[in-house]
Structure 1
Amino acid sequence: MLNLVLFGPPGAGKGTQSQKLIEKCGLIHLSTGDILRGEIAQGTTLGLEAKKLMDDGKLVPDEVVIGMISNKLDANPEAPGFIFDGFPRTVAQAEALDTLLEGKNTAISSMVALVVDDEELEKRLLERGKTSGRPDDANPEIIRKRIHEYNSKTTPVAEFYKQQNKYTSINGIGPIDQIFADIVEVVDAC
C-alpha cells in the first residue's frame, strides 16, 4: 500500500500533483478540509462535534481529525493507498497518524515536499485568486502570513519524517509533468 504525505506550502502545486497521482495510481486523496466538510454534511457524530467546535470559533482537536481519517481509511478497504494532503501539520499529528496506520497494519511510505520559493508562491496564489474566489488567495499580506505560518509550523514535521528516512524534497518549479515524473520516481510505485 502506498501512503504518501504530500507536503508543501499553499500554492506549491499539491492539488495538481495529487490529481495526477490519483489518475496514475488510483490513490484516495485525503484532504482534512474536505473530510471535515464531508463529515459535517453527512451529519456524522464526529462531523457534528467538529461543527459545534468550529461554530464556537475553536480548532477541531487532533483526535477528532484522526477519527475522521480513520473513517475514510475504513470506508476504502480496497484502495491501493492514500495521499495525505494538509495533514499532518504538527509532530503530534504525525505521531497520531503513525499510530493509526500501525493499527491498520500499514504505514506512511514517503513524505514528498514540493519546494517552491516564497516569491513564486505569492505569484501563483495571486494568479489563482483571480479565479478561485478565495479572498485569502487575493491579498498579498494574507498570502505572506499563510506562507510564514506554514514555514514556521511544519518544519518539525519534515524533521519527523527525515528521522524515519521517509522525506524527499522535489523542486516544485518547472513543467507540471516533469515535477510529476520526479514524484513518481521518488515514490517508486504505481
Structure 2
Amino acid sequence: MRNPLIALTGAVLAVVAMSGCTGADRGASASPSPSASPTPTYDLPPRPVRPGEIPVRSAPVVDGETRFQVIGLQKGLSGFFGSHAEWQAKGQYVVVRVVVENTGRTNSRFDAGLQRLVAADGTSHAPNKFAQAIKRQPETFSLGAQVRVEMDLWYDIPKEAKVAAIRLFGDPPLGVTGGTDGAQVPLP
C-alpha cells in the first residue's frame, strides 16, 4: 500500500504548480492581455515652404546608420546672394533641402561632398563647394547619436540638365569599413 503522506504531498504540489501557471493567485485575469498602445510622436508645427521652393513628399530612406528625408527642391536658379557675396551659376543652381538623422548609438560623420544630384541622362553632380560655403552650409560634421539636422545641398549643373533624383550617402555602422551603397530618392 502507498504512503498517504507522499500522495497528499504530490497532490498539493500539483495544485500549487497549476495555480502558479494560471496567475490566479496574483489577480491576473484569464482574458488576453491588451494590445500595446502606439508609440507617442512629437507634435511639430507645420512650417511654410520657402519662397521658390517645391515641397517634396518622399518617404525617408536609410543608408548605413543615417536616415534621410528630402523635404524641398529649388531648380533653375541663375544666382544667389549670401550674407557676404553674390554668386552666379555656370549653368543653374539646384537646391535640395534634406533632413539628416543619425539612427545609431554613436556619433557618425556626415559629408555633404558625397551627396550626388542625378540628372535625367544619368550623370551625377557633386555639391558646389563655393555655393555651400557662401550659403553657410556645412561641408562635413559629426552627427551625434539620435541627432537630426536639416540643411541645403547646393548644386551647379548644366542649364539644360533635367533633375531626376538625389543619391544620399550615410555613414556605415560602427566597425564596418568602406563606404555605403547610397539610397536614391526621385525628385519632381
| TM-score of the alignment, normalized to the shorter chain, above 0.5 | no
| Larger strand percent | 2
Q: Which structure ranks higher in relative contact order (CA pairs < 8 Å, sequence separation ≥ 6)?
A: 1
Decide which structure has the larger Cα Rg and report it. Answer: 2
Higher helix share: 1
TM-score, normalised relative to structure 2: 0.22
Q: TM-score, normalised by structure 1?
A: 0.22
